[in-house]
Structure 1
């Protein structure tokens, strides 16, 4: 509840495949660092990145960098890619799905509070927010709070709960696009909305949206 004892309803968003698609520019930035590390015949593709979106960064590195030695070599390449990716996305951005900013503003007008939780590295969400000049961090901002695996090494379900508790939410839902998003939301104890236009399918029947602006209708049906 808020300081006046009123109910407080929040919508917590995944990033990749839900809010935007950064895979093309992530692939470009990672290819730069892979080749700088001496793997001049290797290319990270958009399809590579999309296939691992939503997973923690160490799992992504183990999946994509099999040509490196697991341990310090792989870790060094991963950190180089993470850091340059944040820098690159701050400058070049990604593909923002239609209606995101307008829908967030409308949801705020409707009395909902907007948050982001991702399995990304530290600084990734900030790169997105900086590129699109989105104010964040206070109750008056479009996005009120953010959290990610790279900040605290907590799994997504734990960070969903952390955001809800930290912001005093009495009701909340999570919007994501892949099965692991759904499973984390269930584990956290919240309802889930599937972004069907994203990168994955969900095994169970759940509320869904085919475009971002459909949240204006679906969210009230899910959390009132």
Structure 2
């Protein structure tokens, strides 16, 4: 069933909405762990999924509260380095019907990405399989170090968007969209659980072809 509201643009979350890179991010962080002697537990795909959607600095505060600030920053830097290296070579897993659905949406809307990731991460995604051609712009935590809702507002302002909608998979995405004054569509196939506060929900990325 289609939404009756008229939008001029769509802003997407990345992880859990457009792709799933958690397996290769876990591999990258485990590689970083092997180079230090102060991180206790192995890093699994489930570890990464448990913190997906958090701002990049908050992730390491959450997972490693027992580390002092210097070691936590050192490990975060190592993880970030290996993450980009491994994703450049291995990428992430696109959700089914991603390209064809983006092509359909691109014919009707301007498309953007706002994520809580590090600088360079969205660029890795955009460099895969001509993804760059679908999007007019993007913003992330790593660029300005500001909350997601502020990055959403900046994209709205910078690109003069009049009636955007935000699509994401976590309560953090919903809350950020609400703070930015943008309607929210919940992607329930992702990593989060959202009970309310959305104008619609999708169970597959391809559902957007019928919804919008």
TM-score, with structure 1 as normaliser: 0.87
Gaps in structure 2 of 5+ consecutive residues: 1-5
**Aligned alpha-carbon RMSD (Å):** 1.6
Structure 1's 41 and 72: CA in aligned 2 closer, same or farther, altered over 3 A? closer
Once the two structures are TM-superposed, the CA of residue 131 in structure 1 deviates from its matched residue by 3.0
Aligned residues: 206
Structure 1's 40 and 165: CA in aligned 2 closer, same or farther, altered over 3 A? closer
Q: Match for 1:178 among 154, 170, 180?
A: 170
Give matches, 1:69-88, under 5 Å: 69-88=67-86
Deviations 1:30-61 (A, max 9, x none): 00011111248631110000000000111110
Q: Match for 1:122 among 119, 124, 127?
A: 119
Q: Whole-Å Cα distance in 1 between the matches of residues 8 and 149 of structure 2?
A: 18
Q: Whole-Å Cα distance in 2 between the matches of residues 29 and 17 of structure 1?
A: 18
Once the two structures are TM-superposed, the CA of residue 65 in structure 1 deviates from its matched residue by 2.4
Q: Does 1:218 align with 2:205?
A: no
SS at match of 1:36: coil
Deviations 1:98-150 (A, max 9, x none): 011111111112x2011000000101111111233322xxxxx3111010000
Gaps in structure 1 of 5+ consecutive residues: 1-6, 136-140, 220-224
Higher relative contact order (CA 8 A, sep 6+): 2
